[in-house]
C-alpha cells in the first residue's frame, strides 16, 4: 500500500488504558470506510506501557505505522512528526485519550466536499468547569486578536486534503492554530460539530496553569507571522515569449 487514500495521525503520551479501546473503535470505523488507510501512532515518550501496547497493535494490523519520539516533546512535535510521514491524499488527526470520537470521521470526510479542511467543533464540552471556561475565554480572545472567527480552533479532530500540509510549518503550539494557519494560506476551512466525550482514564496533560500563558504567546506569534507574510504575484517568462520580443525588437 504505497499511497493510501487516508492517513490517520494519533499522538500518544501515557494513554495505556485508553489505547486498546481507541483502537477497537478506530478499526470499527475504518473497516466501514471504502478507502485504503494507514494509521500513524506517534509515541511522544510514553513511560506507562503505551509503547509496548502500540507494538502489539502494530504487529496485529499492517495498516498501522509507529513513530517514536526519543522523549516527551509535546503535542505539536508529535503531530508534526506524524504529519510529516503521512502518505494519504486525505489526512485525519485526533487525540488518543478517548475524548475524540472516531465515529465522527465519516462526517468529517463527507464535509470535505467543497472544502479543503474540516475542523471539529466541540459544541458540548465534557471537561471540568475550569477548563471549559478557560477554553471559552481563549477561543474568544484568539478570535478577536486573529479575527478568524473559529469556534474551537484547538480541537484536534480534523480532516484535510494533503496539499494543506504545506501551510502547517511546525512551531511550538502550532496545533492550536491549524484552522487559522490554513485559512491564512488561502484554503477553504469549515467547522462541523463533533462529539466530545468525558475523559475516562487518568488526567489531562494540559491544564489552565500550563497552557494559558503559552497559548497567549503562541497567538501573538501567529499574528506576527501573519503580518510578515510575503504577498506578491509573479510569472515565469517563457523562452518563446522572450524570443518573440527579441524578434520584434
The verdict on residue 69 lying in a domain is yes
Distance, in Å, from the CA atom of 116 to the CA atom of 167, rounded to the nearest integer, reads 12
What is the chain's alpha carbon radius of gyration, rounded to the nearest angstrom?
A: 20
The verdict on residue 237 lying in a domain is yes
Q: Give residue 228's pLDDT.
A: 60
DSSP element (H, E) containing 27: helix 16-31
Report the pLDDT averaged over residues 19-48: 96
Report the pLDDT averaged over residues 236-246: 63
Provide the domain count of the chain.
Answer: 1
Residue 14 has pLDDT above 90, yes or no: yes
pLDDT per residue over 71-117, tens digit each? Answer: 999 999 999 999 999 999 999 999 999 999 999 999 999 999 999 99
**Phi, psi (5° rounding) for residue 40?**
-110, 105
Closest CA to 169 of 229, 112, 87: 229
Name the band, by pLDDT with cuts 50, 70 and 90, for residue 245: low
CB 218 within 8 A of CB 206: no
The verdict on residue 140 lying in a domain is yes
Q: Where are the alpha helices (DSSP H) in 84-207?
A: 105-110, 129-146, 178-184
The verdict on residue 167 lying in a domain is yes
The verdict on residue 1 lying in a domain is no
Domain span at residue 98?
6-248
Q: Give residue 229's pLDDT.
A: 66
55 to each of 52, 58, 97, 217, how far by Cα in Å? 5, 5, 18, 37
Residue 11 has pLDDT above 90, yes or no: yes
Residue 237 burial (CB < 10 Å; 0-12/13-18/19+)? exposed
Q: Give residue 246's pLDDT.
A: 54
The verdict on residue 113 lying in a domain is yes
Q: Give residue 122's pLDDT.
A: 87
Distance, in Å, from the CA atom of 94 to the CA atom of 118, rounded to the nearest integer, reads 12
The verdict on residue 109 lying in a domain is yes
Q: Give residue 172's pLDDT.
A: 84
**Phi, psi (5° rounding) for residue 227?**
-70, -20
The verdict on residue 198 lying in a domain is yes
pTM of the model: 0.78
Name the band, by pLDDT with cuts 50, 70 and 90, for residue 201: confident
Residue 206 has pLDDT above 60, yes or no: no
7 beta partners: 38, 91
**CATH code, domain with 207:** 3.90.550.10
Amino acid at each position: 500500500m504505497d499511497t493510501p487514500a487516508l492517513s490517520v495521525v494519533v499522538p500518544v503520551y501515557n494513554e495505556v488504558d485508553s489505547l486498546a479501546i481507541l483502537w477497537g473503535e478506530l478499526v470499527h470505523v475504518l473497516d466501514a470506510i471504502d478507502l485504503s488507510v494507514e494509521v500513524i501512532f506517534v509515541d511522544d515518550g510514553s513511560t506507562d506501557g503505551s509503547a509496548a501496547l502500540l507494538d502489539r497493535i502494530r504487529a496485529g494490523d499492517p495498516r498501522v505505522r509507529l513513530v517514536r519520539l526519543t522523549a516527551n516533546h509535546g503535542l505539536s512535535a508529535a503531530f508534526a512528526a506524524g504529519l510529516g510521514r503521512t502518505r494519504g491524499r486525505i489526512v485525519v488527526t485526533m487525540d488518543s485519550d478517548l475524548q475524540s470520537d472516531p465515529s465522527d470521521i465519516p462526517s468529517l470526510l463527507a464535509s470535505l466536499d467543497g472544502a479543503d479542511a474540516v475542523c471539529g467543533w466541540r459544541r458540548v464540552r465534557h471537561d471540568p468547569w475550569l477548563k471549559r471556561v478557560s477554553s471559552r475565554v481563549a477561543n474568544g480572545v484568539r478570535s478577536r486578536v486573529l479575527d478568524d472567527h473559529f469556534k474551537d480552533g484547538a480541537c484536534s479532530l480534523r480532516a484535510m486534503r494533503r496539499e494543506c500540509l504545506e501551510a502547517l510549518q511546525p512551531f511550538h503550539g502550532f496545533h492550536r492554530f491549524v484552522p487559522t494557519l490554513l485559512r491564512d494560506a488561502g484554503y477553504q476551512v469549515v467547522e462541523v460539530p463533533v462529539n466530545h466525550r468525558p475523559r475516562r482514564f487518568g488526567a489531562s496533560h494540559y491544564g489552565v496553569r500550563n497552557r494559558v500563558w503559552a497559548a497567549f504567546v503562541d497567538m501573538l506569534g501567529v499574528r506576527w507571522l501573519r503580518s510578515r507574510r510575503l504577498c506578491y504575484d509573479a510569472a515565469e517568462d517563457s523562452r518563446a515569449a522572450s524570443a518573440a520580443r527579441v524578434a520584434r525588437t
